[in-house]
Amino acid sequence: MAKTIAINAGSSSLKWTLYEMPAEETIASGIVERIGLDNSIFTIKYGEGKKYEDVLDINNHEIAVELLLEKLDDLGVLTDINEIEGVGHRVVAGGEIFSESSLITDEVIEQIESLNDLAPLHNPANVTGIRAFKKVLPNITSVAVFDTSFHQTMPAVNYLYSLPYEYYEDFDARKYGAHGTSHQFVAERAAEILDKPFEDLKIITCHLGNGASITAVENGKSIDTSMGFTPLAGVTMGTRTGDIDASLIPYLMNRLELTDVQDMIDIFNNQSGLKGISGVSSDMRDLEAAEAEGNERAEIALRIFEDRVRNYVAQYMVKMEGADAIVFTAGIGENAPETRQNIINNFKFLGIELDEEKNNVRGKERIISTDDSKVKVILIPTDEELVIARDVEYFKNLAN
């Protein structure tokens, strides 16, 4: 049977899911961690609760891909490598070049690389994964699926910055957003749960993980989102600042005696957010444990995170003149009941309220608001990989 593999490549990782298509059945999934470092961790989940794990040195993504395909054969997940007829790659930044997914060619790879400044932590890693699969499986349908594509429907009033207009015309300086595949998946799924046409609804989607973003989806389209020119803007995140006053950049560079602005951007991306405020960790679980032990900075970090998410939810409710649903998804959104409760508590005056018992759940799809809540609050586990696999299937069908 035909199979499609969805790939999410990081700078030192390769996350993947193998599907039987068009049935959309998950056959196996896994991750290769610490690529290029000692003691790489290689994990495959397959069959009925089976798991393979090994620790070895994997020097680069190409070796990781070769090892992955070899092991899928050894474990009997594949009987022939040619069963894989399509591969879809998550790419964070598509800029204004890519308003939808694209078949991968040498030109497309060059165009993705030209957008590295829009997602410096992500696009180079995404291209590394693309090149690795291209070398090992050069003849299968290969598709790039962009985090930014879903947000290309934003109106100019929401994507333009208040800068000289020629900076947008000449340098493409504008808001692009991210996490588009996740926001699209959970918004469409919310419409199915509500049993209403997607095009008739107003939905606020909260993708809350180490990277976090909030999106306003009106009449089936993204009309605004919290991330900006890069995935650095928006709400406070695991290691990222979220929104700040740009004047802090020269001020802090002067005080820290930095001369390269990239050093400051690296601090904003990797040493800030929950980690920077708490001094403990970027992981919500660690912060909750530290808060329980009386760590004041961990408590402040958690409250700041909740406040920034709440601010965007409120902003988008005003922008859309209401909402039919608020959706929580991703690592924190799916697995932190107290965080969801603290965010929604401030909306009781609007008649929006969580059911404490229904909200006491992790990673399980359900409506978690009270029966009489004016807006439905829904927990929906995201499945970005499935969105990627569906787009690959679309291009395979076009070719046939």
Spot the catalytic one: 57, 80, 106, 147: 147
355 is catalytic: no
Phi, psi of 280 (to 5 degrees): -110, -60
DSSP string for residues in 314-347: HHHHHHTTS-SEEEEEHHHHHH-HHHHHHHHHTT
Q: Which helix (H) or strand (E) holds 45?
A: strand 40-46
DSSP string for residues in 66-127: HHHHHHHHHTTS-S-GGGEEEEEEEES--TTT-SS-EE--HHHHHHHHHTGGGSTTTHHHHH
Task: Say how far apart CA 20 and CA 399 lie, in whole Å.
Answer: 18
Q: Token pair for residue 20?
A: 């039987």
CB 369, CB 353: distance < 8 Å: yes
- β-sheet with 25-33: strand ranges across: 50-56, 40-46, 25-33, 14-20, 3-9, 84-91, 141-146, 102-103
Q: Which residues are catalytic?
A: 147
